[in-house]
Structure 1
Amino acid sequence: MANPVQLRVIAEKTLHSPANPDLLAYSPSMELLATGGADHNVLIYRLNGQRVFSASQKVKGVLLDLQKLVWKPSGQLIAIAWSDGTVRLIGAESNKTVHQITVSEEEDIEVTCLAWTTYSATSKSLGDILAEAGSLWKDATGGGLKGKSAQLLDLPRDLAAIDIESSLPKLSVLPSGGTTEDIFSSRASLDALFRPFDPKDNDSISIMVVGTSTGHIHLTIFDSFVIGTFPSPLKSSKTSRHQLIRHASHPHHAVHGLLMKSTSTLVGGLYFVPMHLGFLTSERSDLSLLASRSSALQNLLRYIYQVQTLMTAEYQATQDLPSRFLGNIDETLAEHGDWTIAPALYHQVVTGHTLPEVKEWLVDELAERGHKRWDKALTTAHTTLLKLTHTHLLPALERASLLLSRLHGLASYHHPSHSPLGFSPTQIKNLLDTVAALNLAATRVLATTVGEVEGWAAFGGWVRGEIDRLAAGESAAGADDDKEAATVPTAKILEYIQGSLTASPLAQFFTPLDSATAESHTDALSTTTPLFPIMATALNNPDPTNAFQKALPNIASLTAHLATQATAVSTGIAEAEKRNVRFGDAVEVGGVGKEVLG
């Protein structure tokens, strides 16, 4: 009898609470161990026993039950299934959620199986095709090519897989707090989300298989690209259904093995069901590129949405405090005559005469303290708005254009004679048009905000001078006042009073549309192409009677329209791939003990 193999203990760790043996997952590539305990907390350890981080999940203050966990084969992410019907993907560097995948909308759902595997297949390059041509190719090339010359035969494939995005600067981290997703507020989590496409992975596809207590099977590829949810391949009845409990696959085969268990205590039994993922063995060699770039586009749209939300909040900050100050003086002026604050201040700049009510407001109500608050609110908000536009939104739109250009190239190549991708070149052209229109609006926001900064600098400085002058009284006026008056930018002050003081030029970009207008505008956006020339007209020579032009510069509306268009493309891709998934005939596995059947 052979001697038993002795396993060497690498590390030993005493846990604070008992670990569930069904909730253990090890990542050989990262040498990290994930454990789940009775407290529904996931703990990540290194082999030396050092704890990396922990993860738990709460929804509306209620701690969710931990159901399954599994590492991505590369070890970059860990998938954790919770009792709210979602699978959350967490980066190996932090406990922030990178993706959230909803596998079921039903309540009290249970994930019965969670598997994450990789399919690898070498696609045919031009060199492979020519090699198969045999003697004909050798005769034509004088014996064939060798060395570097032969490598050039893969040039078309290499050009298709080239990653231009890696040459771009990384997207900037968004300010934390407020409505910002945590994933965008740290460098590590942002890098995990926007991981560049590696040409080496062009023939490697990550596949996540999720089985639920309802018998459904959910498929996701490339971390977050959802192929779809499939009903149980076995017939169910009112008293029983079949649940996926185990999954097996080979990295070079497109057929996966599913082990399904009946929930009936009377019928019982285990069944082996083959699942053929036809899209893996498709003649197309660009599935990796297609799905990964589509996923990257969806992540980018999440980022753009968060930037737009922060920009809207900053714009609102430029309006809240000034509107309170101006609203108070408008009420006072209305009680004593027909004046409003804008004409009153205009009159004061031009004539030097100050209405008694305005003087009282400047000296007693606004005063130095109120002016400082006003100045701080506008300066901070405008500075942040400039940064969000220049550092976050415009670079993100540039990346979106590159991603869409790649997808447009794929669509043009395959359309219409080749196998369908699930979307057309026209859809991508419309997306590029929307991105261009949004880019134009963002550029105008940038220029307008700079103008607002300059206008407030002139007007705010004048208001502060008037507060000091009126508080000191006429007796304190002297020669210095005449010199200061000569350097006052009167034209800019008057322009600011007539416009930005009561009606910000940024309002057209950030003021929310009312429900009726938003609905009609959304319908008009879906049927209007191209948008870019209309946007140029709306910004440069708008027609006041044209409701569509009036609402078009709204950043939130454009962002929502962009997301709708992108979702249609992703859905089309998923539906095209979903049609290539087939389930084979089930084979009952006999001789299984009750301890296996549960």
Structure 2
Amino acid sequence: MSLPTLSSKRLFDGVATSHQPGDGDLVAYCDPHDLIAIATEAHDIIVYRITGQIAFTIKRKDDDLVVTALSWKEDGSVLAVAWSDGSWGLHSGENGKSLHRSSVRSEDHGSEREWRLDLVPDFGGGDDDEQESRTNVVHFEWRKHVGDEGSAVGDLSAELSTEDWEDMFDSALEFDGLHQVQKRTNSKSSVKRLARAIATMDATTVLPKLSAIPSHGLRAGPDGSKFSTQALVDTIFGVAKTEDTGFVDTLVITCSDGIVRVMIDDTVEIGSCTVPGMLVLSASHTQSPTHTLISRSGKGETVVSLLDIALHALSSTLLHEVSTNTKRIQHLLEYIAQTIRCIEHDYTTGLQFPSRLRKNIIMELEEKQEGDLVSNMYHLAMTGQYSPTMLEWLSDIVKETNHKRWDVAITTMYTNILNHVFFNLLPALTRLEIAITTLRGHAIHHAGSNNSHFAVEPKLFTNLLEGADSLRLVAQKLQLVVAAELKQFKAFSKWLKVYIDVAIAEPGTAAAIEIEEREQPNLEMGFVLGYVEDILMTGSKIEGFVLPLAEWRGGYAREEWVKRTEVMSYERVMHFLQVMGSGKEVAPVAQISLPALAAWTHGSARMVLQRITAWQSKLLKAPMSQSIAARDNDRMLDLRMLSVGGNSGASTTTQLLLLPEADSRALLIQNLSNPSSKAQAFDSEVCAMDGRISDAKATPDGTVLVLIRRDDDSIAIVTKENEVVHAFDPDFEAQRILLGGRQGKSVCFVLGERQGGREWRLLDLEAAKLGMP
């Protein structure tokens, strides 16, 4: 029997092989969108459509790095990738753009990341040999669990006095007996839904969407393209619909040292635990709170660990709000930092060409001892008389062409900064303040609750809000300064253009006099002289707002960072802005520097997030572990959690496919029924196959497909009862299979070799009528 081949693809450059025992080639199939992600030697990660067309490519950040883990989110919206330096990232399932980056080499592994005084991206870890020998991500496990509907409202319904609402519903009852009881039950359900709807209301939905951040050529590390398109920004700041909050999106990240991190909503860390040794396989099910982890300990034992996720707590409205706003704070701070980097970039690049023109005339004036540029400009504006050097500079160097470039550069610079402040920075700060105040409200409400509710000190949120408010004050002041300087520059540029034309026409000639008489009444000399005196003489006030300070750079230990940031406060920011508003000169200080204020706010947010993680980690219990009958060299082929009893989810079973080292023709199937916090022994079934086993996988309904090489050297896919499903042609040597797809379109991905090169084929399992959902 041969299944229809949906597509095939020749991979001339080979496929990278994982260093994990028995894991083979790193391949991940996206069920909803029929995408195939393959880690290759030359092109890092290539994502193909089933037609073989390349959808997008994810490049590695260093030539020495290799991919250690690869996995799609269930809905196909995100692709998780881990690298050999301990870093991992989330990429858009649509175009591969970076959505989030982090590292497992952080505080949990003995070395706290530096606390920064600048906006240099930092993801922990390092490139030295000692760091390279440390932990990496070896496995991702995505799962969208069905939350506990009864606890979805949780304590919040009592806090909102829903009993009073029920009394109000009861007063309207007109029926007796059974009908009254039935209506009362419906009333309780309605009240719970009402309480949930009130608790999950999102104030940001009435605000305009955040705009993409135009970088204008800036290369700012991993965040450089993260907010570059509107589609990416909408994806990053998208919020789950209210009716979806009964579900819990979990991401379990397992490291090579046995550390297991549990995340919700992709990026919010709940806590971590440890399994013995190196993880080999893991499995979970939507309708079960248990994750099954298979690992090999240093003693050569194969260990099964059962990790229970606290769905009853994670699906509550309180946890939903905490995770939503925690994630929002993380992304908004990254968005704000990228905006400030772009403002700095626009300022420095906008001044490059005008600075070259100014340096040229300054050197000429100094060499000929004709004073400085400001004096000569002021003299020209007041008298209309040129010095010889100024006349030559304006007529031969600046001219019309370079004046136009000067005008465009400065006008674009001011316009870009205004746009960044108005369209990016201020709207992001508004959303940040909403998220902070929401969490602070919960912290105040639950203060003194013996750590049973939201055990985070309100003071931490107050400090974070102080940083956000300070950023808003300085951003608004910067907006006023930029607008004033832009108005002055426009007047100065218009005046300069007139006197360039006069210089070219030669002063004193009829043409020059005509130009002066025609244009002089249209010049705003107050703004011209103000620009010469305020900008050309003392420099732009924008510099103090947007450029990093020399003393505010680098990373420090937490205690030193706290000591250095003691000078920051909302009151001091107000003081320096008031002094600046009085007309007094203010030297560049941290209190009015956007990069310094953002670094201070980032540090305050880090304290908040660490405290939230410490509180949430109490929801995660240590997994139950026990050894199973398997030798160290036995191959773990597949692990899948299956639903028993239809869609009710009343019970689940975990199925492990094991290939004993001593017999390559025997498939050992072990089942663990009803996994719970109390570990149980596996029930074993041995299946004798009509050939040497290369790989085996289980379908979602429990059907087992086995890839074998028969005695006649032919290769086929068979069931565990040795019924042939698909026979391959002699030219293709199949080596690995991967099952995927969705209801009505189940597929089998086969990876192998043909004529010395790598090739994959996609087979249509629906034709086999295996009863897959």
Residue 653 of structure 2 is matched in structure 1 by: none
Q: Does 1:540 align with 2:581?
A: yes
Kept after mapping to 1: 8 A contact 2:226/2:232:
yes
Q: 1-side partners of 2:553 and 2:213: how far apart?
A: 31
Residue 53 of structure 2 is matched in structure 1 by: 51
Q: Does 1:290 align with 2:322?
A: yes
CA shift for structure 1 position 497: 0.7
Q: 1-side partners of 2:592 and 2:567: how far apart?
A: 17
Q: Does 1:34 align with 2:37?
A: yes
Q: 2-side partners of 1:35 and 1:517: how far apart?
A: 40
Task: Pick closer, same or farther for the CA change 1:253–1:416 going to 2, 3 Å.
Answer: farther
Residue 499 of structure 1 is matched in structure 2 by: 534
- Residue from 516, 533, 536 that aligns with 1:481: 516
* Counterpart AA for 1:348: L
Residue 404 of structure 2 is matched in structure 1 by: 372
Task: Pick closer, same or farther for the CA change 1:516–1:275 going to 2, 3 Å.
Answer: closer
Which structure is richer in relative contact order (CA contacts within 8 A, separation 6 or more)? 2
1:432-469 deviation per Cα after TM superposition (whole angstroms, max 9, x unaligned): 23222212222222222222222111111111211221
CA shift for structure 1 position 381: 1.5
Residue 299 of structure 1 is matched in structure 2 by: 331
Matches within 5 A, 1:233-382: 233-234=275-276, 242-263=277-298, 267-278=299-310, 281=313, 285-337=317-369, 339-382=371-414
CA shift for structure 1 position 345: 1.5
Q: Does 1:207 align with 2:250?
A: yes
Across the two proteins, how many residue pairs are aligned to each other? Answer: 577
Gap runs ≥5 in structure 2? 18-23, 106-124, 126-130, 174-179, 637-660, 662-773
Q: 1-side partners of 2:576 and 2:287: how far apart?
A: 50
Matches within 5 A, 1:52-67: 53-60=55-62, 62=63, 64-67=65-68
Residue 151 of structure 1 is matched in structure 2 by: 190
Residue 95 of structure 2 is matched in structure 1 by: 94
Kept after mapping to 1: 8 A contact 2:470/2:570:
no
- Residue from 581, 590, 594 that aligns with 2:633: 594
- Residue from 120, 126, 138 that aligns with 1:112: 138
Q: 1-side partners of 2:170 and 2:503: how far apart?
A: 97
Q: 2-side partners of 1:38 and 1:352: how far apart?
A: 69
Task: Pick closer, same or farther for the CA change 1:491–1:185 going to 2, 3 Å.
Answer: same
1:101-135 deviation per Cα after TM superposition (whole angstroms, max 9, x unaligned): 312333155543321223332224389879999x9
Kept after mapping to 1: 8 A contact 2:48/2:56:
no
Task: Pick closer, same or farther for the CA change 1:98–1:349 going to 2, 3 Å.
Answer: same
Q: 1-side partners of 2:620 and 2:25: how far apart?
A: 29
Kept after mapping to 1: 8 A contact 2:212/2:227:
yes
Q: 2-side partners of 1:173 and 1:425: how far apart?
A: 32
* Counterpart AA for 2:88: V
Task: Pick closer, same or farther for the CA change 1:544–1:15 going to 2, 3 Å.
Answer: same
Residue aligned with 1:98, SS: strand
Residue 431 of structure 1 is matched in structure 2 by: 464
Kept after mapping to 2: 8 A contact 1:27/1:71:
yes
Q: 2-side partners of 1:252 and 1:191: how far apart?
A: 30
1:60-110 deviation per Cα after TM superposition (whole angstroms, max 9, x unaligned): 3x1632332222122211212232322221212111121123123331555
Q: Does 1:220 align with 2:253?
A: no
Q: 2-side partners of 1:364 and 1:16: how far apart?
A: 60
Q: 1-side partners of 2:341 and 2:97: how far apart?
A: 20
Residue aligned with 1:364, SS: helix
Gap runs ≥5 in structure 1? 1-5, 235-241
Matches within 5 A, 1:4-15: 9=4, 11-15=6-10
- Residue from 478, 483, 488 that aligns with 1:450: 483
Q: 2-side partners of 1:169 and 1:77: how far apart?
A: 25
CA shift for structure 1 position 557: 1.0
CA shift for structure 1 position 305: 0.9
Q: Does 1:185 align with 2:228?
A: yes
CA shift for structure 1 position 376: 1.9
Residue aligned with 1:25, SS: strand
Task: Pick closer, same or farther for the CA change 1:318–1:65 going to 2, 3 Å.
Answer: closer
Kept after mapping to 1: 8 A contact 2:69/2:140:
yes
Kept after mapping to 1: 8 A contact 2:362/2:372:
yes
CA shift for structure 1 position 504: 0.8
Q: 2-side partners of 1:427 and 1:570: how far apart?
A: 10
Task: Pick closer, same or farther for the CA change 1:268–1:393 going to 2, 3 Å.
Answer: same
Q: Normalising by the residue count of structure 1, what TM-score does the alignment of the two structures yield?
A: 0.85
Kept after mapping to 1: 8 A contact 2:351/2:409:
no
Q: 2-side partners of 1:569 and 1:11: how far apart?
A: 51
CA shift for structure 1 position 311: 0.6
Kept after mapping to 2: 8 A contact 1:165/1:196:
no
Residue 421 of structure 1 is matched in structure 2 by: 454
Residue 738 of structure 2 is matched in structure 1 by: none
Q: 2-side partners of 1:460 and 1:258: how far apart?
A: 69
Residue aligned with 1:58, SS: coil
Residue aligned with 1:206, SS: strand
Kept after mapping to 2: 8 A contact 1:179/1:306:
no
Kept after mapping to 1: 8 A contact 2:152/2:246:
no
* Counterpart AA for 1:114: F
Q: Does 1:125 align with 2:170?
A: no
CA shift for structure 1 position 498: 0.6
Residue aligned with 2:286, SS: coil
Q: Normalising by the residue count of structure 2, what TM-score does the alignment of the two structures yield?
A: 0.67
CA shift for structure 1 position 358: 2.2
Task: Pick closer, same or farther for the CA change 1:539–1:398 going to 2, 3 Å.
Answer: farther
CA shift for structure 1 position 53: 1.6
Q: Does 1:399 align with 2:431?
A: yes
Task: Pick closer, same or farther for the CA change 1:365–1:536 going to 2, 3 Å.
Answer: closer
After TM superposition, the structure 1 stretch with the greater mean CA deviation from structure 2, 324-333 or 461-470, is 324-333
1:200-230 deviation per Cα after TM superposition (whole angstroms, max 9, x unaligned): 2323222222223333323322212234554
Q: 1-side partners of 2:570 and 2:27: how far apart?
A: 53
Task: Pick closer, same or farther for the CA change 1:91–1:356 going to 2, 3 Å.
Answer: same
Q: Which has the higher strand share?
A: 2
Residue aligned with 1:101, SS: strand
Task: Pick closer, same or farther for the CA change 1:39–1:589 going to 2, 3 Å.
Answer: farther
* Counterpart AA for 2:11: H
Kept after mapping to 1: 8 A contact 2:152/2:316:
no
Kept after mapping to 2: 8 A contact 1:422/1:575:
no
CA shift for structure 1 position 136: 9.5
Residue 26 of structure 2 is matched in structure 1 by: 23
Q: 2-side partners of 1:521 and 1:274: how far apart?
A: 40
Kept after mapping to 1: 8 A contact 2:34/2:49:
yes
CA shift for structure 1 position 284: 5.5
Kept after mapping to 2: 8 A contact 1:86/1:100:
yes
Task: Pick closer, same or farther for the CA change 1:291–1:326 going to 2, 3 Å.
Answer: same
